[in-house]
Structure 1
């Protein structure tokens, strides 16, 4: 790890990295699609320099703080959509069965999340979009969390929204809304057929216009080409999201992607760094699949390669590593956890 940090102060003779240093680090201008593709094509011998530059960009344009978040599934399984990566789709023979979390369970999950030092708690539901029952339960859950005196910001991820539903969430005090584009626009029809990339984009537009923070990312390793990874990075950059969660595919039993290979660690780190160089000021969050793809030490390398946010604990239907391990890692790296907003 020290080698990566030390390299951050060194100039490079690689023209791709030299351009990125001047454009992104010095001027704060993200790389365009062609430039991101060049970064993704860098050899493994350049990976330490690339990670070092991405870390320096993160420190300059975002600062040293790390946002810690926990997530919980309010409604699990039985989703009518056919997202090929998802074990919660009711269209595939996966082991996941439909279930609802009651309000006391939701409050306890929020309490445990806040106890880790996290400032963000995301309520997630496996649905195409929320119906009246789901929105009512979200409202009751938020009110119960506040009544319990739990100081934490509430985010939601409830699928595609109408304008009326966006307005309802704003009135509930939802701080941030997550709705992932998942992959490049050109690759999306190979991943989902029951709705379009454009429908997701429209939800994100309404969320942003309503004043909620936009959280939007995706999954790496779903059969996309390296060119499509570059395409995806700049499409996210054009959205100007507050946060980008980066997931790496966990091949789920019963889904069409159950036999897909796991992304190699070096490719995952190269992708993280490339996305940082495309979005120098955006919160870049380690999300699902990092343990499988990178192993226990991979998180540390990623935190020194452009990442400045992390999900602790479990990922809906997949286990993460214990939250304390990540908190200990941040302490070892001397990366302060972002404080709770004074406006909460």
Structure 2
């Protein structure tokens, strides 16, 4: 694909539009960023970092996650080893309340202000909601940390129940562009996910919504996804890079190159100048240590520390040491929530 002069000028356009005026890039403009040659990457990352500093500030939000219910999910998300439909090695398991509280304490000890409880389900049943009610209360009684949740698709009653528990942020990823979603999931629709997110926002909880890059989508679809997230206006966007899992339909896909991943980080920052943009799964194999640092200097302003749901992450000590090296302060726990 030939890079046009218009594409090459997109950095100048973004500097005026995003950095100076605070207006995110459009879908067409994001596509121009994604088409930039690798030689433009240093300038692009520098601009994305300046945008982050201006519109979000210097702080980095640190979060830990734990799986309350692992494996045995009835959905067929092609990237996920927790699906009960694939011959992947993850098997169903539940975490008890004391284990949940201990995980929250360990997360808080790293300096994290956010603890997300995740369950591999289509949506929560009454057993899971009861576990959440007990677990959230136990955590709030024992640990000074904000509780988030990710339990799949919700009914209005469940949304209201989670808000009453004190869950302040709900994660439900759209995963990919609307046009690409049927290639990734067939057991439910993109629109069903969107409906849950709409109810979450209306209930007063913060919306956490991102996805996975590198699942066979085109650059055009990657730009489409960034624009759809911008339209949703989430408080946080976790950005994952596909880490192909054995036994899943995407198990043989090649991970993105570090240059492509970094370009995506910068493009999403320029589309979402005021949003928390969080490093999530896959950065270890896609970016490595050097790329992780470049991303933190290229638009990222939040990290998940420790392991993910079914894959290993960097140790919390490594990430915290990197933030210290880069002189990036960790966001303090808000006392107003």
TM-score range, shorter chain: over 0.9
- Residue 144 of structure 1: CA displacement? 1.0
Q: Which of 235, 247, 251 is the aligned partner of 1:254? A: 247
Distance 1:34 1:298 in 2: 26
- Following superposition of structure 1 onto structure 2, how do residues 128-277 of structure 1 map, counting pairs within 5 Å? 128-148=122-142, 150-277=143-270
- 1:339 correspondence with 2:332: yes
Distance 2:336 2:28 in 1: 40
What per-residue deviation string (whole Å, max 9, x for no partner) do you get for residues 127-169 of structure 1? 0000000010011011111222x10000000000000000000
Q: Which of 77, 98, 101 is the aligned partner of 1:104? A: 98
1:37 aligns with 31
2:115 counterpart SS class = strand
Distance 2:123 2:87 in 1: 22
1:323 aligns with 316
2:252 counterpart SS class = coil
- Residue 14 of structure 1: CA displacement? 4.4
1:122 counterpart SS class = strand
1:296 counterpart SS class = helix
1:47 aligns with 41
Q: Is the 8 Å Cα contact of residues 211 and 239 (structure 2) preserved in structure 1?
A: yes
What per-residue deviation string (whole Å, max 9, x for no partner) do you get for residues 73-93 of structure 1? 000000000000000000000
Distance 2:217 2:8 in 1: 27
What per-residue deviation string (whole Å, max 9, x for no partner) do you get for residues 189-210 of structure 1? 0000000000000000000011
Q: Which of 289, 297, 302 is the aligned partner of 2:295? A: 302
Structure 1: runs of 5+ lacking an equivalent: 1-12
Structure 2: runs of 5+ lacking an equivalent: 1-6
Q: Is the 8 Å Cα contact of residues 276 and 301 (structure 2) preserved in structure 1?
A: yes
Q: Which of 15, 18, 28 is the aligned partner of 2:22? A: 28
Q: What RMSD in Å do the two structures reach over aligned CA positions?
A: 0.8
1:85 aligns with 79
Distance 1:216 1:134 in 2: 21
Distance 1:18 1:264 in 2: 25
Alignment length (residue pairs): 331
